[in-house]
Chain A
Amino acid sequence: MPLETEARAQVRALIADLKPNDGDLLQALHRIQHEYGYISREAMEVVAEQLGLYAAEVYGATTFYSEFRLEPPPAVTVRWCGGPACLVRNGRGIRDAILATLGLQELGEQTADGRVGTWLGQCNGTCELAPMMWLEEHGHWDEARVVGHLTAARAVRMARALRDGASVDEVTRG
Chain B
Amino acid sequence: MVTITLNGRKVETQPGRPLLEVIKEQGIAITNLCYIDGLEPYAGCRTCIVEIEGARPTPLQVACATRVADNMVVQTDTPAVKRQRQAVMSMIMANHPDRCLTCHRRVHCMPGDICLRDDVVTHRCLTCSKNYRCELQTSCEMIDMGEFEEPWVGESRSYYEAPPPDPDRGNPFLEFDPQMCIICTRCVRACDQLRHTGAIALSGKGHTTMIAFGTGGPIHESSCDFCGACIDVCPTATLMEKPNKWVGRADDWTNSTCNSCAVGCTLSYGLAEGRPVIVRPDRINPLSRDQICVRGRFGYDAVGERERLSRHLVRSGERLLPASFEDAVRRAAQAIAAVRRSDGPGAVAVLGSPLATNEEAYLLRRLARDVIQTPHLDFSHGPVHRAVTDAWRAAFRTERLPAELTTIEQAQTIVVIGGDLEESHQIVSLRIKDAVLKRRARLVLISSRWGELVPLAKPWIQPRPGHEAQAAQALADALAGGEPGAVANVVPERMAAAAEALRAGRAAEGPFAVVFAPSAVGAAAAGEQARAAANLAIAARGQAAAQHLHYLPSDANVHGIADMGISPAEGGRSFPEIVEAARAGQIKALVVHDDNPLLNAPGTAAIRAALEAVDALIVIDSLRSTTADLATVVLAELPFFAKDGTITTADRRILRQRPAGRAQRDERDGVAVLTALANALGDVMTYGGAGDVMREVAERVPGYATHEAIAQAPGATRALGPAPTAADRQPLAAAAPATAGDGLVLVTGRSLFTSWDGASIRSEEADKLHREEAVLINPRDASDLGVRMGDEVVLAAGGAEVRAVARLDDGVGPGWVYLPHYFAGGAPMSLFALDGAAATVRVRALQRA
Contact = CB atoms under 8 A, between A and B. Distances in A.
A55 B222 contact: yes
Contact of A45 (B201, B215, B454): B215
Interface stretch (A56-64, A110-118, A125-133, A156-164): A56-64
Given A55-B222, A57-B198, A64 B216 contact: no
A3 B200 contact: no
A1 B809 contact: yes
B199 to A, nearest CB: 6
B223 A54 contact: yes
B192 interface: yes
B89 interface: no
Given A54-B198, A54-B223, A60 B808 contact: no
Interface in A42-58: 44-45, 53-58
A54 B810 contact: no
Nearest to A64: B205
Contacts of A64: 203-205
Contact of B215 (A1, A3, A58): A58
A45 B217 CA distance: 12
Q: Of residues A3, A55, A56, A59, which shows the largest number of chain B Cβ atoms within 10 Å of its Cβ? A: A56
A64 B205 CA distance: 5
A66 to B, nearest CB: 8
B204 A63 contact: yes
Given A41-B215, A56-B214, A3 B201 contact: no
* Chain B interface, DSSP helix/strand/loop, else mixed: loop
Interface string A1-21: 111100000000000000000
A59 B205 contact: no
Contacts of B192: 54
A1 B222 contact: no
A120 interface: no
Interface in B182-215: 192, 197-205, 212-215
Given A54-B223, A56-B215, 15 more contacts: A1-B809, A3-B779, A3-B808, A4-B779, A44-B215, A54-B197, A54-B198, A54-B199, A55-B215, A57-B198, A59-B203, A59-B214, A60-B201, A60-B202, A60-B203
B201 A56 contact: yes
A70 interface: yes
A59 B199 contact: no
A3 B811 CA distance: 8
B205 A56 contact: no
B450 interface: yes
A64 B209 CA distance: 9
Contact of B450 (A1, A53, A56, A57): A1
Nearest to A41: B215
Nearest to A56: B201
A59 B216 CA distance: 7
Nearest to B223: A55
A40 to B, nearest CB: 9
B810 A59 contact: no
B201 A1 contact: no
Contacts, number: 63
A60 B212 CA distance: 8
5 contacts: A41-B215, A58-B215, A63-B212, A64-B205, A70-B216
B599 to A, nearest CB: 27
Contact of A56 (B212, B779, B810): B212
Interface in B459-494: none
B778 to A, nearest CB: 10
Interface residues of A, number: 18
Interface string A125-148: 000000000000000000000000
Contacts of A57: 198, 201
Interface in B410-454: 450, 454
A149 B283 CA distance: 70
B461 to A, nearest CB: 16
* Chain A interface, DSSP helix/strand/loop, else mixed: helix
Taking residues whose C-beta sits less than 8 angstroms from the other chain, chain B's interface range is 20 to 34
A63 B222 contact: no
A58 to B, nearest CB: 7
Interface in B785-809: 789, 808-809
A59 B811 contact: no
B223 A1 contact: no
Contacts of B203: 59-60, 63-64
Given A41-B217, A44-B215, A63-B216, A56 B199 contact: yes
Interface in A37-92: 41, 44-45, 53-60, 63-64, 70
B213 A56 contact: yes
Q: Of residues B215, B216, B223, which shows the largest number of chain A Cβ atoms within 10 Å of its Cβ? A: B215
Contacts of A58: 215
A158 B197 CA distance: 49
A105 B453 CA distance: 46
B257 to A, nearest CB: 31
A59 B779 contact: no
A44 B201 CA distance: 13
A3 to B, nearest CB: 5
B482 to A, nearest CB: 33
Given A1-B450, A63-B203, A56 B222 contact: yes
Contacts of A70: 216
B162 to A, nearest CB: 13
B809 A56 contact: no
Nearest to B210: A63
A50 to B, nearest CB: 12
Nearest to B451: A1
B328 to A, nearest CB: 49
Contacts of B204: 63-64
Contacts of B222: 55-56
B201 A59 contact: yes
Interface in B808-825: 808-811
Contact of B809 (A3, A41, A55, A59): A3
Contacts of B808: 3
B574 to A, nearest CB: 36
Nearest to B217: A41
Closest 8 CB pairs of A and B: A54-B198, A1-B811, A56-B201, A60-B201, A1-B450, A63-B203, A41-B215, A59-B215
Contact of A59 (B197, B212, B450, B454): B212
B189 to A, nearest CB: 12
A71 to B, nearest CB: 11
Nearest to A65: B205
A56 B450 CA distance: 21
Contacts of B214: 41, 55-56, 59
B810 A1 contact: yes
B166 to A, nearest CB: 16
A56 B198 contact: yes
Nearest to A60: B201
Interface string A99-117: 0000000000000000000
A6 B767 CA distance: 30
A63 B204 CA distance: 5
A122 B192 CA distance: 36
A49 to B, nearest CB: 8
A3 B810 contact: yes
A53 B217 CA distance: 18
Contact of A41 (B202, B205, B216): B216
A44 B213 CA distance: 13
Nearest to B198: A54
Contact of B810 (A4, A45, A53, A60): A4
Contacts of A60: 201-203, 212
B787 to A, nearest CB: 13
Interface in B222-246: 222-223
Contacts of B450: 1
A74 B205 CA distance: 24
Nearest to B776: A1
Interface string B51-86: 000000000000000000000000000000000000
Contacts of B454: 1
A56 B811 contact: no
A90 B656 CA distance: 75
